Amino acid sequence: MSSTLDALNQWVDEVARLTQPDRIHWCDGSDAEARQLNDLMVARGDLIPLNDKTHPNCFLHRSSKSDVARVEHLTFVCTPEREDAGPNNHWMAPAEAHAKVDALFAGCMRGRTMYVIPYCMGPIDSPISRCGVEITDSPYVVANMRIMTRMGAPALARIEREGTFVKGLHSTGELDPERRFIMHFPEELTIKSYGSGYGGNALLGKKCHALRIASYQARTEGWLAEHMLIVGIENPKGETHYVAAAFPSACGKTNLAMLIPPEGYREKGWKVWTVGDDICWMKPGADGRLWAINPEAGFFGVAPGTSQKTNPNALAMLGHDTIFTNVAVTVDNDPWWEGLPTGTPVKDWQGNDYQPGNGPAAHPNSRFTVRASQCASFSPHAEDAHGVPISAIVFGGRRESLVPLVFEARDWTHGVLVGAAMASETTAAATGAVGVVRRDPMAMKPFCGYNFADYFGHWLSFDQPGAKLPKVFHVNWFRKGSDGKFLWPGFGDNLRVLEWILDRVDGKVGAQPTAIGNLPRAADLDTQGLGLEPHHVDELLHVDRDGWQREMDEIGAYLDSYGARTPEALRREQRKIADALAG
Ligand code: OXD
Ligand code: MN
């Protein structure tokens, strides 16, 4: 046996000694195994079969009431030096963190089965992909990992070949919020997650591995692990450009990844291809371009708000072979969530009789887990081993005022500043004040596995001789007019903005230079058929000098909050823009 498999077996033995499971099951990823686990979960009530006529092979899982979301305050990055985790992470010394969480793991799998899940993040034959092994006592996690990753025998074979893998240990424990920790040990390529069964905390391949651990690995290995969708835009000539885009939560990432072009565009032959909706790993290729893969094999998307109007591709793919978590059900036992125009919920997400006075029927963070290949717009190149070349990087946020519909960064350094300064207004969906601007650099605030200042420096380091880096843009679909209404229709019409972006990439269209970056002139945007008044377009493309001066001051203070580690090039860029606005 290879030394890697020895090391893996040794770790599995160690974990078994600590957690004391009744049985150990090595997951092979086969259909027979999936069926057997499904039957077990249905028998235990962990999965509830949905209407088999309308939703064949679809199941509902109801989570514990206090376990419905990621828990940032219980999520730690445990580097030997606190400074290496940075002010953007909660930190604990590795020895203390291991001791704390191991005490919870001790004996926690008594009476349970321990599942060992070898998985690969990314196409199994891609040099950009990375492998891991998750040990868990939750069959629900196994079922989800089977959809979200390439799990089983081929992943194990790759691990044996490569000699390295990320170790993830997970137990649902007692699902007690007081006994819950999500610990990351980047230097040990190790994750320990206790006390939650929720996706982002429990499917360790996703946020824990593919973002927190991978971002750390990417820094040392010269690539980028980002919280970005990847979408291919095919123009009527049959040329496809790939765009990677980062948005904080509740900004429509999944919708943009699966966009359906407006009718006029469809008639002309525009097509949109989905590569990924959440995570993007990018690496410079021999040609100097950034090549990207989606490390995931499925979508773990938010259900509420998904409808025929907002995301027809998503709705269609949810008609079969889907696990729903915390949605409501109708009298016909169909899944239901807020935003669906038809159907009436009879049971809410907790399984109680639905009472409109008791809040939403589906939990606002209720989810679907579905294989990416079920999406009608799934790109034929999504599984390419070398990835897809990225032509443009798009950053975005939810900003009612100030930030124009779209602008282009002048160069890479400016683009990194635009990403580092990303911000979004809080919505009513989250607790706390509404409309407060929160900085969320590259949408990585909850996911960067090391100090943001070093992360900005890593981004800047890609600007090397010979590099053919993507152009960087910022978009804001959420601008409101003086009447309080959205100025831009959004959804499929966002393709109109992407068209300008890609025309800029191809050098086919001009722009007006401003202090904050290059903007389209009103005539450059195709707004035909939208019924927008000229003053709406002017508002969408207006740069408010005073407002931007205040914004740049805030961005300066934000960069300063990372102290001396903040790259000087970013501060210089910020001062340059502030001076241009003042001048
Ligand atoms: C997600 C998230 O679940 O970003 O994708 O929270
Ligand atoms: Mn996400």
Give CA–CA dist 481/401, Å, rounded.
8
CB 104 within 8 A of CB 14: no
CB 186 within 8 A of CB 216: yes
pLDDT at 200: 87
Ion ligand 2, residue ranges at CB < 5 A: 278
Residue 486: domain span? 226-298+380-582
Give the pLDDT confidence of 20-78 residue by residue, as tens digits: 999 999 999 999 999 999 999 999 999 999 999 999 999 999 999 999 988 889 999 99
Same domain, 177 and 33: yes
SS3 251: coil
pLDDT at 432: 59
Contacting residues for 110 by C-beta, under 8 A, at least 6 apart: 20, 21, 22
Give CA–CA dist 148/383, Å, rounded.
14
Q: Could you tell me if residue 538 is inside a domain? A: yes
Give CA–CA dist 491/478, Å, rounded.
11
Contacting residues for 187 by C-beta, under 8 A, at least 6 apart: 79, 80, 94, 216
Mean pLDDT confidence for 127-151: 98
Give CA–CA dist 518/500, Å, rounded.
12
Give CA–CA dist 569/571, Å, rounded.
6
Given a cut of 70, whether residue 400 has pLDDT beyond it is yes
Same domain, 236 and 159: no
Q: Which of 178, 194, 222 is the last residue of a domain?
A: 222
pLDDT at 1: 56
CB-ligand 1 contact for 249 (6 Å cutoff): yes
Give CA–CA dist 117/30, Å, rounded.
12
Q: 227 C-alpha to center of ligand 2: Å?
A: 6
Same domain, 197 and 250: no
Give CA–CA dist 168/204, Å, rounded.
6
Give the pLDDT confidence of 99-109 residue by residue, as tens digits: 999 999 999 99
Mean pLDDT confidence for 282-311: 97
Same domain, 26 and 132: yes
| Number of domains observed in the structure of the chain | 2
Q: 370 C-alpha to center of ligand 1: Å?
A: 15
CB-ligand 1 contact for 278 (6 Å cutoff): yes
Question: Residue 454 — very low, low, confident or very high, per pLDDT cuts 50/70/90?
Answer: very high
Q: Give me the DSSP letters along 21-75.
A: -SEEEE----HHHHHHHHHHHHHHTSSEE--TTTSTT-EEE---TT-SS--GGGE
Contacting residues for 266 by C-beta, under 8 A, at least 6 apart: 260
CB 410 within 8 A of CB 518: yes
Looking at residue 553, which CATH number applies to its domain?
3.90.228.20
- Which ligand is in closest contact with the Cα of 365? 1
pLDDT at 435: 75
Beta strands 388-396; 290-293: pairing state = antiparallel
Ligand 1: nearest atom to the Cα of 443: 4
Instruction: Tell me, yes or no, if 251 is annotated catalytic.
Output: yes
pLDDT at 583: 83
Q: Could you tell me if residue 357 is inside a domain? A: no
pLDDT at 263: 95
Residue nearest atom 2 of ligand 1, based on CA coordinates = 249
Mean pLDDT of the chain: 96
pLDDT at 245: 98
Question: What is the widest separation between alpha-carbon atoms in the chain?
Answer: 72
CB 229 within 8 A of CB 426: no
Q: Which of 193, 222, 251 is the last residue of a domain?
A: 222
pLDDT at 132: 98
Give the pLDDT confidence of 466-485 residue by residue, as tens digits: 999 999 999 999 999 988 99
Same domain, 106 and 143: yes
Same domain, 153 and 249: no
Give CA–CA dist 415/570, Å, rounded.
10
Same domain, 475 and 488: yes
Question: Residue 434 — very low, low, confident or very high, per pLDDT cuts 50/70/90?
Answer: low
CB-ligand 1 contact for 333 (6 Å cutoff): no
pLDDT at 426: 74
Instruction: Using a pLDDT cut of 90, give the percent of the chain over it.
Output: 94
Same domain, 233 and 218: no
Given a cut of 60, whether residue 140 has pLDDT beyond it is yes
Same domain, 13 and 113: yes
Give CA–CA dist 137/178, Å, rounded.
19
Give CA–CA dist 217/131, Å, rounded.
12
Mean pLDDT confidence for 310-319: 96
What are the CA-CA distances from residue 398 to residues 6, 184, 415 (Å)? 49, 30, 18
Give CA–CA dist 446/441, Å, rounded.
10
Mean pLDDT confidence for 118-136: 98
Give CA–CA dist 167/335, Å, rounded.
35
Q: Could you tell me if residue 333 is inside a domain? A: no
Q: 5 C-alpha to center of ligand 1: Å?
A: 32
Given a cut of 80, whether residue 433 has pLDDT beyond it is no
Q: Could you tell me if residue 321 is inside a domain? A: no
Q: Which of 189, 222, 255 is the last residue of a domain?
A: 222
Instruction: Out of 251, 280, 375, 448, pick the active-site residue.
Output: 251
Same domain, 231 and 218: no
pTM for this entry:
0.97
Given a cut of 80, whether residue 437 has pLDDT beyond it is yes
CB 322 within 8 A of CB 375: no
34-48, 244-258, 548-562, range with the lowest pLDDT: 244-258
Q: Could you tell me if residue 367 is inside a domain? A: no
Instruction: Using a pLDDT cut of 70, give the percent of the chain over it.
Output: 98
Q: Could you tell me if residue 577 is inside a domain? A: yes
Q: Give me the DSSP letters along 158-210.
A: HHHHH---EEEEEE-TT--GGG-EEEEEGGGTEEEEES--SHHHH-TIIIIII
Residue nearest atom 4 of ligand 1, based on CA coordinates = 249
Same domain, 216 and 245: no
Looking at residue 104, which CATH number applies to its domain?
3.40.449.10
117-126, 249-258, 297-306, range with the lowest pLDDT: 249-258
CB 100 within 8 A of CB 129: no
Q: Could you tell me if residue 369 is inside a domain? A: no
List the structure tokens of 144: 């989800």
pLDDT at 436: 83
E strand residue ranges, 269-428: 271-276, 280-284, 290-293, 298-302, 323-325, 328-330, 335-336, 345-347, 367-371, 388-396, 406-408, 423-425
- Which ligand is in closest contact with the Cα of 227? 2
Q: What single-letter amino acid sits at 164?
A: T
Q: Could you tell me if residue 190 is inside a domain? A: yes
Given a cut of 80, whether residue 430 has pLDDT beyond it is no
Mean pLDDT confidence for 174-189: 96
- Which ligand is in closest contact with the Cα of 429? 1
Alpha-carbon torsion, ordered 165, 166, 169, 172, to 10 deg: -120
SS3 568: helix
Same domain, 235 and 205: no
CA 356 remoteness from chain centre = 31
Given a cut of 90, whether residue 429 has pLDDT beyond it is no
Residue nearest atom 6 of ligand 1, based on CA coordinates = 249
Ligand 1: nearest atom to the Cα of 302: 3
Ligand 1: nearest atom to the Cα of 70: 6
CB 142 within 8 A of CB 172: no
